[in-house]
Chain A
Amino acid sequence: MAERLDRWIGVALDGQIKPGSSNPAVIGGNAIAVWRAEKGPANVWEDRCPHRGMRLSFGFVREGMLRCIYHGWGYEPGGHCASIPAHPDLAPPKTICANVYRSKERYGIIWTNLSESPNAPLPDAGPDQGWQSIRSVYVARQVVAVKGGLATFDWSGGRVEEIGEEAAFVSAGELSLLIAIQPVDERKTGLHVVAKGDGAKDVKARLAWAARLERLRGSIEAQS
């Protein structure tokens, strides 16, 4: 079983997890399903239906429930199974539950803590308002190399303020960037980038930053 430390890890940009969708992710080798009902916050669960082990990231959303694609078992956001289509008149036993992880949306990022006793605080980037999503990139390198790459990248006049455990902060002129760092496994790291400040909402600026992040990805991967 992969380690599940008491830390908040960014797993996606909030805007990328669309209403009525279920999505796969991996944190430290743990398979995750990130899903959202038609309304409401994103949910982060172990990517496994307790019935016959089918990955819930393949599931579909109907009327506020995540349904497993194998037998259509329906799960409410709290994790409880509320519907077993093979037995439409049966109230599913309360023991049937998806494995739910703590999750929070802040700064436009979905954070999750996989620990069984999550006590750590969320990374602090100040007030929650005004953050604009840029993009996620997945770098084919383990997290130490990626952090090293963040430190040495040419941020076009910007400056790396800090590289912490779960996040890095870059200031670039009027903009502040928050980069959530998602260790996927020993060979891959995800970065979820949001920006705040003057011009953060400007489409051209966001496109330019998206391109810069593609170059960041390329520059880290170019190093062996």
Chain B
Amino acid sequence: MAVTTDRAALNEWVACGWPEKVAPGGKYRTVLLGQEIEVRRTGVNLFEVFECDEHGKQGRQLPVQAKYCCVFTTLGEPTRPLPEIPEFDEPDRRITGCGSVGVHTSPFRIIENFLDMAHFSFVHTDILGAPERTEVLAYKTEHRKDADEIWAIDCQFYQPAASKASRGGQMTHYAYRVMSPFSVMLYKNVFDDPTRNDAICLFVQPIGETECLAYMPLAIVDRESALTSIIDFQQTIFAQDRVILENQRPALLPLDPTIELPTRADASSIAFRRWLKAKNFQFGVYEKKAA
């Protein structure tokens, strides 16, 4: 696999693992944007990342950060730091990652699916959506230029079982935040507590244009549920999405709005695609070749 030359992709912080993937002293290899890398856990919370070639010969060292239950690195020069997510510092929250899940599609398909509510009743039936309540009410999208993030706010959807903590249906209120082309998170109100929000993140490691690893760190308010069942819930949801993600054609994300036809419920997707187009992304997007 060739390394991408798309500077827009190279200049992003990207997840490349989770801290407990190997024991301290351990290491593993993975691929980022076509580039083989080696990740070494040199201490409990210390990591090193190096480029390497397919024969294992070590190349240049890369910047690394461990945050939000993930290990991040970059192949280029990011113009901004990792996002601020203060929920991960609140002491009464359950903070956990869920390992990684492999998905054969463009990283941008994964981000878009995370932003979408219209699929809840069909893909997460009787959990995040009910078959009889499929309407997506109008919501707002914004490009927050200072942080260069895409937000969707005032989102709401009826959910029979919004989280592991839920005891019955509720009208869930959501806000979605795209922090970078490879990272997105949502805020959803805690069951029975409208003053606080669960924070659920999705960081995508693009191995190649149509092969990714997805990491899902959570910072949620739930005193009762066992950690195993919180992780189980998140993995169950994502495995349902994965069937969709691996069967969209083309796998690369089309930015041309005549190839795929949006409706008002797709406002986040429209804003996200426009944002990617403005950044001039070549990696992971579909360009219809002239005949």
**A interface residues with partner B (beta carbon < 8 Å):** 31, 47-48, 50-55, 58, 69-72, 84-88, 90, 95-96
Instruction: Give the residue of B119, B243, B250, B264 whose beta carbon is less than 8 angstroms from that of A71.
Output: B119
Q: In the bound complex, do residue B123 and residue A69 qualify as a contact, i.e. CB atoms below 8 Å apart?
A: yes
On chain B, the residues within 8 Å of A69 by CB distance are: 122-123, 244
Give me the 3 closest cross-chain CB pairs, A-B, nearest first: A85-B134, A86-B265, A86-B118
Size category of the B interface is: 20 to 34
Question: Could you name 18 residue pairs across A and B whose Cβ atoms are closer than 8 Å?
Answer: A31-B249, A51-B262, A52-B112, A52-B266, A52-B269, A55-B247, A58-B243, A69-B123, A70-B244, A71-B122, A71-B265, A85-B134, A86-B118, A86-B136, A87-B135, A87-B264, A88-B135, A95-B261
Chain B residue with the shortest CB-CB distance to A55: B247
Q: Known interface pairs A70-B123, A85-B121, A86-B134. Does A51 touch B261 (Cβ–Cβ under 8 Å)?
A: yes
CB distance from B75 to the nearest CB of A (A): 29
Q: Known interface pairs A70-B123, A72-B121, A86-B118. Does A47 touch B249 (Cβ–Cβ under 8 Å)?
A: yes
Q: In the bound complex, do residue B122 and residue A50 qualify as a contact, i.e. CB atoms below 8 Å apart?
A: no
0/1 per residue, B231-270, Cβ < 8 Å to A? 0000000000001100111100010000011111110010
Cα separation A69 to B245 with both chains bound (whole Å): 12
Instruction: Give the residue of A48, A88, A95, A96 whose beta carbon is less than 8 angstroms from that of B249.
Output: A48
**B interface residues with partner A (beta carbon < 8 Å):** 112, 116-119, 121-123, 134-136, 243-244, 247-250, 254, 260-266, 269
Q: In the bound complex, do residue B260 and residue A53 qualify as a contact, i.e. CB atoms below 8 Å apart?
A: yes
Chain B residue with the shortest CB-CB distance to A54: B248
On chain A, the residues within 8 Å of B247 by CB distance are: 54-55, 58
Q: In the bound complex, do residue A87 and residue B248 qualify as a contact, i.e. CB atoms below 8 Å apart?
A: no
On chain A, the residues within 8 Å of B134 by CB distance are: 72, 85-86, 88
On chain B, the residues within 8 Å of A95 by CB distance are: 261
CB distance from B256 to the nearest CB of A (A): 12
On chain B, the residues within 8 Å of A88 by CB distance are: 134-135
On chain B, the residues within 8 Å of A58 by CB distance are: 243, 247
Cα separation A90 to B264 with both chains bound (whole Å): 11
Cα separation A27 to B117 with both chains bound (whole Å): 34
Cα separation A87 to B138 with both chains bound (whole Å): 10
Instruction: Give the residue of B117, B135, B260, B264 whose beta carbon is less than 8 angstroms from that of A52.
Output: B260
CB distance from B135 to the nearest CB of A (A): 5
20 A-B pairs besides A53-B260, A69-B123 with CB distance below 8 A are A31-B249, A50-B261, A51-B260, A51-B261, A52-B112, A52-B248, A52-B260, A53-B249, A54-B247, A55-B248, A58-B243, A69-B244, A71-B119, A72-B121, A84-B263, A86-B136, A86-B264, A86-B265, A87-B265, A95-B261
CB distance from A83 to the nearest CB of B (A): 10
On chain A, the residues within 8 Å of B116 by CB distance are: 71
CB distance from A86 to the nearest CB of B (A): 4
On chain A, the residues within 8 Å of B123 by CB distance are: 69-70
Cα separation A86 to B119 with both chains bound (whole Å): 9
Q: In the bound complex, do residue B136 and residue A87 qualify as a contact, i.e. CB atoms below 8 Å apart?
A: yes
On chain A, the residues within 8 Å of B243 by CB distance are: 58
On chain B, the residues within 8 Å of A54 by CB distance are: 244, 247-248
Cα separation A47 to B123 with both chains bound (whole Å): 19
CB distance from A26 to the nearest CB of B (A): 12
Cα separation A71 to B261 with both chains bound (whole Å): 13
CB distance from B151 to the nearest CB of A (A): 20
Q: In the bound complex, do residue B122 and residue A72 qualify as a contact, i.e. CB atoms below 8 Å apart?
A: yes
CB distance from B273 to the nearest CB of A (A): 11
Q: In the bound complex, do residue A70 and residue B122 qualify as a contact, i.e. CB atoms below 8 Å apart?
A: yes
Instruction: Give the residue of B118, B119, B250 whose beta carbon is less than 8 angstroms from that of A53.
Output: B250
Q: In the bound complex, do residue B122 and residue A53 qualify as a contact, i.e. CB atoms below 8 Å apart?
A: no
Cα separation A95 to B262 with both chains bound (whole Å): 12
